[in-house]
Each structure stands twice: as C-alpha cells, then as structure tokens.
Homo-oligomer: A and B are copies of this chain.
Amino acid sequence: MKNLLVAQSGGPTAAINSTLCGVLEKAREIGFSKIYGAKFGIKGLLKRDIIDLDVIKKSDIKTLKLTPASVLGSCRYKLKDIEDAKEEYEKIVEILREFDVGYVVYIGGNDSMDTVEKFSRYLKLNDILDIKIIGAPKTIDNDLEKTDHCPGFGSAAKYVATTFKELERDSAVYDIKAVTLVETMGRDAGWLTAASSLSRIDGSPGPSLIYCCEVPFSVEKFLSDVEEKLKEKPNVLVALSEGLKDKNKRPISADYNEEKKDMFGHSNNAGVAKFLEEVVRKNMGVKVRSVELNISQRAASHIASLVDIEESFRVGEKAVELLKEGRSGLMVNIIRKGEYVVEYGFVEAVEVANKVKTMPKDFISSSYSDVSEVAIKYLKPLIKGEVNLEYVDGVPRFYRLDQK
C-alpha cells in the first residue's frame, strides 16, 4: 500500500487539527506504511518540506485534537490553471512519487478545494492512476457549498454566542443610554453574525439587533433601529457582519476608509463597527463603543464546540476511507438527517471550489435586523457540548510540533 500525505491550508480554525487527528487515526488503523505531513500546505509540499507524522504519538492525539490553528502550518496559495503551470503539477507528482505517496488529504476551504479539483483533474488528464486526492472541509465562515455546515464553524459560533452572552451582561450594568457595536468575522456570509443569536438560548436578552451581510445595509435604517431599541431599554447591543454592504454593494466602511487613505498612504482597514461607532456618536449623542471580535473567533479552542471537534475528526476519517475506496477529486461533506443526526458523504470538489454559500434569505428576519427561527434551529445543534481541555498551571495545554 502506498503512503499517505496530509496537509492543511487556508485560515486557521479551532477544529482543523481535529480533522488531522481523524486522518492520522484512520490511516494508522488501515495501515498505510508511512503517513507524511506537508508543512505549510501545497507551498511546503512544493519545497519538499515534508515530515514523517510518526512524531505525533497516539498519546498526543487528545491534546492535538483541541489545539487551535494548523499544527502543520498553512498557506494561501492557489495553483494556476493546468495549461498555465504544467511544470508545477509535474513537480507535485514527482515529489509525491519520491515519497511513494499515493494518497493525499488536503484540509482547507474553498481555495483548497480548488487545489483538490485542479490537481485531480490534472491526474485524470494525464492518466495518473496511482495518486488520489480528497479534500476535507474547514472554515469558521461556514460558507462552503454542498455541505450542511463546515468543520470549524461550530467552535467559532460557540465562541461568538458565549462572548455575546457575556457582553450583554457587561453592557447592562449602567443605567445610562449606551450602544455597543460588535463586529464578527465573515466577509461574504453572515453565519457567524447570526450565531450571536444563540446567546439568547435560555431566555437571555442577547443582541438587540443583528445585521448580516446577505441583505443590504442602510445606515439610516440602522440609526432608526437603534433609536427604537433605545426606547425599550438603555443598553443596546448590536451584532454586525464584517462584510456589510449597502444596496449598491459598497462596503459600509468605505467612506470612512476613503477619507483616511492618505494618512499612511493607504487605508487603515477600520472596520464596520468602528465606522458605525463614529456615526452613532455624531448622530445620536449617546455613549457608544465598538468591539471587533477578531482572531479569537477562529483560535479560541478553550471554548470549542464538542459537536464540532468530534465531527471534524470524523470528516478526517471519512477522507481516508474515501481514498481507500479508490476515490479522488472529492470533498467530504456533512449531511444533516433529522434533529440532530449527521452522516458523512462526499461531493465533487469542483462543486465547492471558489464558491461561497451565503445564508438563505429565510434565515434573516423580514426587518433585516435580526435572524429568523429557522436560522436558530439550524445553528443550535452546532455549538453543543464542551471540550475537556487539559490545563497546566491555569492555561490550556496545546500541542506543538517543535515541543520535544
């Protein structure tokens, strides 16, 4: 049996190493002679930056499963079209043969599925039958097509829901009018913003307003929405998608950035929350602050979703099973069956590559300033369960390749 190689690509998540663990455990069970890891995704592969994953012991799996960010390193590197970069494809095949690799698992998002699609197409076009590649999905953005949801999203959503629950408590302590604007990640889809609604699960107030980037955003309507909510209670907490755009598809922070562009010769990337903070201050004269949830959304392993970690592991196992069946050019997917059972299936990588799945329109309330019950029903099972992290002197223990 030929060797297996696994690599991680794209932005980190809290669950991407759990998928790697699933790959490792299943590959060891099946008995591939060697299991290799390419460092820094396809970019490292092209530099022969390949390590024997024997370094990851059976006893490390528990810790690695709950370690955030790609332990093998990652890249943002897209293969050129086959006809434009034949040599690169040839080089990949050459390196894989050098290591006697016949099976590749590529863990990543829609750019990575583009790699899976292109490379498998190259193999087919050139009648190379002894190398197969399968993609395993991951993204905190939950925006991959043809899967019910994405590994990594549940943990990010649980972080967002928990943080909104805490911020709601924090924002309610004073009896003066105040607006707290919280920006979540998601440039093209509002899934993580919608997850803020889960902070209301047990009857807690949660955010007063939720704006997702699937529907056009109007600054005027936003101001009047906030005004209305301030009549009901003094503290208004607002969830905002990073990628909010107006009806002309213009990013909401555009004006703001434009005026500043020259200060340092370029935009300073102030986001939508910071922009709207100034708008509220200028127009409403109430206390206002903005919070950008930032990198913790994808790195906060300490509040990972157990459902997400376990599913991500199974997705890794499934990728290896598909390779063993001789399949190639596919991405593992998660299929929801009833409430709440999932099955693991597959889809052609070409159906996922470079595509973005936004939230269905019926996930958003008709007011455009909240999510619907349908959305909450969909999201709720994904954040369930807490992980049993090991702490050393008060901080979580994580796995590092360079630790020994």
Interface residues in chain A, defined as those with a beta carbon under 8 Å from any beta carbon in chain B: 12, 39-40, 43-44, 67-70, 73-76, 158, 161-163, 165-167, 169-170, 172-175, 180, 198-199, 201-204, 259-260, 263-266, 268, 270, 274, 277-278, 281-282, 289, 291-292, 294-296, 298-303, 305, 380, 383-386, 391-398, 400, 403
Contacts and interface: CB of A to CB of B under 8 A. Distances in A.
Given A202-B392, A299-B166, A264 B282 contact: yes
Given A69-B166, A289-B295, A384-B394, 14 more contacts: A73-B174, A74-B173, A75-B175, A158-B395, A163-B296, A166-B302, A169-B398, A198-B393, A201-B392, A202-B393, A268-B277, A270-B270, A380-B393, A386-B391
The oligomer's copy count stands at 2
Contacts of A296: 163, 166-167, 296
B202 A397 contact: yes
Contacts of A282: 264-265
B175 A44 contact: yes
B384 A393 contact: yes
Contacts of A174: 40, 73-76
Nearest to A394: B383
Contacts of A281: 264, 266
9 contacts: A76-B174, A158-B394, A169-B299, A169-B398, A170-B298, A170-B299, A266-B281, A303-B303, A385-B394
A295 B169 CA distance: 11
A394 to B, nearest CB: 4
A292 B383 CA distance: 25
A173 B73 contact: yes
Given A162-B302, A263-B260, A274-B268, A170 B295 contact: yes
Given A40-B175, A260-B260, A68 B394 contact: no
A303 B302 contact: yes
A282 B398 CA distance: 34
Given A302-B162, A386-B391, A169 B12 contact: yes
